[in-house]
Amino acid sequence: MADWKERLGVVYSTNPDFNYQTEEVEQAQTLAPEKQNLRVWRNTHGRAGKVATVVRGFVGSDADLEELGKTLKRKIGVGGAVKEGEIIIQGENRDRVLQVLLDLGYTKTKKV
């Protein structure tokens, strides 16, 4: 992201020693797989009637969520995306996603 976008709230400063400081959003510490409460949903909303499998409830950094999404897509052999804290897998794959998550150690995972 461009630096100027972070300073949109500052109009002008006459102080020659002024140093604008941005607040960094602190990433949540990634919980161990056995402590994650993941939910696997079937969803068609906003997809023109096409079915997608959605994994919700991941607590941790965006990088770890992306890595889990890549692993799921690779093991199941379908496409998908990671958006807004959710892993979206194409198609009706709840049972397969659930089994892969259980194999990876996410023992508190449930199908909804």
pLDDT tens digits for 57-96? 999 999 999 999 999 999 999 999 999 999 999 999 999 9
Asked if the structure places residue 107 within a domain, the reply is: yes
Asked if the structure places residue 7 within a domain, the reply is: no
Asked if the structure places residue 78 within a domain, the reply is: yes
Q: Whats the size of the chain, residue-wise?
A: 112
Question: How many structural domains comprise the chain?
Answer: 1
> What is the helix, strand, coil percentage profile of the chain, to 5?
30, 20, 55
Asked if the structure places residue 14 within a domain, the reply is: no
**Residue 101 is inside which H or E element, if any?**
helix 94-103
What pLDDT sits at residue 5? 62
Asked if the structure places residue 57 within a domain, the reply is: yes
Asked if the structure places residue 33 within a domain, the reply is: yes
Name the pLDDT band for 16 (thresholds 50, 70, 90).
Answer: confident
Q: Which tokens in the block code for residue 5?
A: 């976008």
CB atoms within 10 A of CB 24: 7
pLDDT tens digits for 31-53? 999 999 999 999 998 888 899 99
Asked if the structure places residue 16 within a domain, the reply is: no
CATH number of the domain encompassing residue 57:
3.30.780.10
What pLDDT sits at residue 4? 62
Asked if the structure places residue 13 within a domain, the reply is: no
The residue range of the domain holding 99 is 28-111
